[in-house]
């Protein structure tokens, strides 16, 4: 018997060229899953794919350059995954845009850009995944949300999309009652990734003004999480360990946002 927790499974992981997406991809492959990884940049994505494929004893990887804002790209990701591995069992909606723009500095173009990536993107991917999951009555959907879904201390559009993603997770889980398809979310707290480091340095769109306004309402006792902590949470939800968990938002924050 294969001891790998995800042996024989195939996972699509969006936004998998750096940070948490890389940790998820490497962990899932180590646990036996074949992984189809997406990102907008080819060079970093190829490096992740090559590393996984050079590691013996796990699943294989393919990389697909794609933008979650594009319906055509989304459909192409699923088609390429089916061509490479023959099935899809797990979807992780990890791709997203972090930002710190205050509401009074948020114009329509930026607002729609972030919403289309952080909320409409996962909706597109879930819709495509269900075309595969519903006929076989099996599958796992994991949305990567944020503590900002309930503690909205970052940018106005970012926090709004993460709150909406939490609601979407529960709505999809309700739709899937009576099936063997599970939908849950992981809500990371402060996690050491390039995006988080840029955020603390005031280098994300919007700078650090919103952090100054919200600092009195946010508790940061530390320690910060590592990317693998979020990957472990996804592994729990994707494997048989999470078989009875549905419609939940699992917050992984080292107790910083209780």
Stretch (H or E) spanning 13 = strand 10-13
Q: DSSP secondary structure string, 110-135? A: HHHHHHIIIIIHHHHHHHHHHHHHHH
**Residue 225 corresponds to which tokens in the numbers above?**
């999480």
Torsion angle (degrees, nearest 10) of CA 69, 72, 73, 77 = 130
Q: Given 18, 125, 158, 236, which residue is catalytic? A: 158
Is residue 144 within 8 A of residue 185, CB to CB? The reply is: yes
* Of 73, 59, 63, the residue nearest 36 (C-alpha): 63
**Residue 27 corresponds to which tokens in the numbers above?**
């962990």
Q: Is 158 a catalytic residue?
A: yes
Which residues are known catalytic residues? 158
């Amino acid at each position: 018997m294969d001891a790998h927790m995800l042996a024989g499974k195939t996972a699509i992981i969006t936004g998998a060229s750096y940070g948490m997406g890389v940790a998820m991809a490497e962990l899932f492959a180590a646990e036996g899953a074949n992984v189809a990884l997406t990102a907008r940049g080819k060079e970093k994505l190829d490096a992740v794919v090559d590393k996984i494929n050079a590691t013996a004893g796990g699943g294989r990887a393919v990389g697909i350059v794609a933008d979650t804002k594009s319906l055509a790209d989304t459909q192409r990701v699923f088609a390429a995954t089916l061509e490479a591995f023959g099935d899809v069992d797990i979807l992780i909606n990890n791709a997203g845009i972090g930002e710190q723009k205050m509401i009074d500095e948020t114009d329509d173009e930026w607002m729609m850009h972030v919403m289309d990536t952080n909320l409409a993107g996962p909706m597109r991917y879930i819709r495509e995944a269900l075309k595969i999951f519903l006929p076989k009555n099996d599958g796992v959907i994991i949305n990567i949300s944020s503590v900002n879904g309930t503690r909205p201390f970052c940018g106005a559009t970012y926090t709004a999309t993460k709150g909406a993603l939490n609601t979407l997770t529960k709505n999809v889980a309700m739709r899937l009652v009576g099936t063997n398809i599970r939908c849950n979310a992981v809500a990371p707290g402060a996690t050491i990734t390039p995006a988080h480091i840029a955020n603390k340095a005031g280098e994300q769109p919007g700078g650090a003004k919103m952090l100054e306004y919200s600092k009195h309402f946010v508790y940061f006792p530390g320690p910060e999480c590592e990317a693998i902590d979020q990957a472990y949470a996804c592994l729990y939800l994707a494997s048989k360990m999470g078989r009875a968990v549905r419609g939940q938002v699992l917050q992984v924050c080292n107790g910083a946002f209780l």
